Amino acid sequence: MRACFALLLLLGAGCVEGLLQLGTEPEQPFCDVETPCRDASKQCIFNRCFDPQIPFERVALNLHRDHRSQQLLDVDLSNSARLDLSLLAELTVDLRAEGADGRPMPGRVIASRQQSIPGAPVQRQALVSEEGSGSLVLTEGTDWQLRFYPEASGLPPTDAQILVPQSNLDGQNVLFRLVEAPKRVTGRLLSEGGLPLAGRSLRLQDVDGHRVSGRGQSDEDGRFELLVREDVTDVRLLIDSDDPAVSGQLMSARPVGDGAWGEVTAVFDGPAIPVAVTIRSGQDSRPLACDLVLRPAAAAGLIRHRIETQADVPTMLQLAQGSWWVDIHPRGRDDLAPVIGLGLEVAHLGHQEMVVTLAKRVRMTGSVLLSGGQPAAGARLVFQQFMGADRSEDLGPWGQQEWILEHQTDENGRFELSLPPGEVALFVVPSAPYPRLLRLLSLRDELSVELQIEEGTLFSGEVSGHSGGGNTLIQVFSRDLRFAGRAVLLGEGIAGGDGSFSIPLPAGQ
């Protein structure tokens, strides 16, 4: 009786619907080739489960013309696949830079849109002359973040200024003035053993990765002095080096405080360790000719050292102790796959040997068919592989890279090629008016696939503007799909002389 009374109360409060939904299966947050969609009617495309019959309803647009980009971040196509676009006016902004004493300062200004399509940032930059003047063309009505970087390396960049250009104003002027007395950060750079680290290039970054100081260098006694903007409170010290034997690091964030840091110990440092590097194929133990890219993990991948190895000659490297990421690209061997983000621990003592056997590429064959069943001759195949770490490991944006290969189908719509093993994103781009196809593939052993181009949506419209809309490149990005942190490109086209465009888009795959 009490249970029935409680149910009546819930009915009166409108809560039964919520109770009944407790037993429903939640939406699958992640999928891949090893974790397929639980709903068999859906397809796993770039780690999301999508219904292939549902068209994309919300997209983002990148309009590119005359080396300038304008973006629309949220375009609703649910009611109509036709859209008339109007290019916003581009306004000239006058720039002026001067020091604390009013004297003109040369340098450069970098302007970034505060909101952009993921993976497609919009930036503009201009030089400021010796007279301290310059100009920059920015899109009207959009938020821009501007920073001035003085030409003098010891001076810090200015704080960011926000500007929204408006045509109803008489003129757009931005004045960058260096602070009267920037904060001074001083200290003495030491190794773990207490020895001074001389000749190190140094700079300070804020917690968002923006440089907030001028560049400096430690002297023979390890002492350094950096000038930092007065508004900055927490910074990270980047210790640079061109020599992998005395590699660098990006230190943990710390408060600027009064600027007197005293002794600063660089943990990622020590005596150079001899490392013998041998790269070979699966059939041959002889060294291969390769291009190596070494990135110290302690520097978050911000510092890179490029080294070439020679065939039949063992390579000896002098590396600082600690953790490294190594990228290996074989030269002249198309049958071998590259290695990206290989972990290497350099020991504290003694000689060390690194032997890497490169894997053979995986043979992949297949065909591309149009919606009517006829072969898609000359269709572009774009393969992208995100390499360097699995999902559970976060090496940061510099610790991972994309491997990209482009290919075309023959007159029968067929293709044959070899690819690195692993998970690969495939973009199939047929000729108009057919939409592109998006797929994730797992390459383990030899693979043969048949790829069918499905019917999609024809996105059309007209671009207009102060100087017309012809010759404008229009790129359509998904708002939901991501690959390697970037929005997926669904389609692109160029507006004709009258500004009209027509772009085939895939269904919700």
Predicted confidence (pLDDT) per residue in 132-185, tens digit: 999 999 999 999 999 999 998 788 998 889 999 998 876 789 999 887 778 899
* Digit-coded pLDDT (tens) for 214-238: 889 999 999 999 999 888 889 999 9
pLDDT given at position 12:
41
| Three-class DSSP category at 155 | coil
d(CA 179, CA 163): 20
- Interatomic CA distance for residues 255 and 277, integer angstroms: 40
The sheet carrying 260-265 orders its strands as: 223-228, 183-190, 260-265
Partners of residue 203 on adjacent β-strands: 238
For residues 239-275, one letter each, b for 16 or more C-beta atoms within 10 angstroms of the residue's C-beta and e for the rest, the string is bbbeebebbbbbbeeeebeeeebeebebebbbebbeb
In this predicted structure, what is the pLDDT of residue 110? 95
Q: How buried is 291 (Cβ within 10 angstroms: 0-12 exposed, 13-18 middle, 19+ buried)?
A: middle
Q: In terms of pLDDT, which residue wins out, 296 or 267?
A: 296
Instruction: Say which CATH architecture domain 362-455 belongs to.
Output: Sandwich (2.60)
Q: What is the DSSP letter of 463?
A: E
Q: Are 216 and 202 in contact (CB under 8 A)?
A: yes
Decide if 75 contacts 487 (C-beta within 8 A).
no
Q: Is the predicted pLDDT of residue 69 greater than 50, yes or no?
A: yes
Q: Name the residue with higher pLDDT: 416 or 100.
A: 416
Same fold yes or no, 183-265 and 362-455: yes
Q: How confident is the model at residue 270 (pLDDT cuts 50, 70, 90)?
A: low
- For every residue of 299-344, DSSP letters joined together read GTT-S-EEEEE-TTS-EEEEEESEEEEEEEEESS-TTB--EEEEEE
Domain ranges within the chain, ordered by starting residue: 90-177, 183-265, 272-357, 362-455
Q: Model confidence at 1, in pLDDT bands (50, 70, 90)?
A: very low
Contact status, residue 266 vs residue 187, Cβ threshold 8 Å? no
For β-strands 272-280 and 315-320, DSSP reports them as antiparallel
DSSP letter assigned to residue 141: T
Rounded to 10 degrees, the C-alpha dihedral 186/192/197/200 comes to: -80
pLDDT at 400: 54
- Burial (CB count within 10 angstroms: exposed 0-12, middle 13-18, buried 19+), residue 34: exposed
Specify whether the CB–CB gap between 200 and 247 falls below 8 A.
no
How far from 206 is each of 98, 121, 209, 212, 219, CA to CA, in Å?
23, 20, 5, 6, 24
pTM reported for the whole predicted model: 0.81
Dihedrals phi, psi of 10, to nearest 5 degrees: -65, -35
- Report the pLDDT averaged over residues 366-393: 80
Under 8 Å CB-to-CB from 319, ≥6 apart: which residues? Answer: 244, 245, 247, 272, 273, 275, 294, 346
**Per-residue confidence (pLDDT) for residue 269, from 0 to 100:** 62
pLDDT of amino acid 343: 85
pLDDT digits (tens, 9 = 90+) for 398-438: 445 667 889 999 999 999 999 888 888 899 999 888 999 98
HEC readout, 355-422: EEECCECEEEEEEEECCCCCECCCCEEEEEEEECCCCCCCCCCCCCEEEEEEEECCCCCEEEEEECCE
SS3 28: coil
Half-sphere CA count of 138, side-chain side, radius 13 A: 31
509: pLDDT confidence band, cut at 50, 70 and 90? Answer: very low
pLDDT in tens, 11-68: 343 433 333 334 445 677 788 777 888 888 887 877 778 777 778 888 999 999 888 8
pLDDT of residue 387: 62
Question: How far apart are alpha carbons 196 and 352 in whole angstroms?
Answer: 26
Give the per-residue pLDDT at 94: 94
If you classify domain 183-265 with CATH, what class do you get?
mainly beta
What count of residues does the chain have? Answer: 509
CB 338 within 8 A of CB 327: yes
Q: How high is the pLDDT of residue 26?
A: 61
CATH code that applies to domain 90-177: 2.60.40.10
* CATH topology (fold) of 272-357: Immunoglobulin-like (2.60.40)
pLDDT recorded at residue 340: 80
pLDDT digits (tens, 9 = 90+) for 429-481: 998 889 999 888 888 889 999 999 988 889 999 999 877 788 999 999 998 88
- What's the CA gap between 57 and 432, in Å, rounded? 21
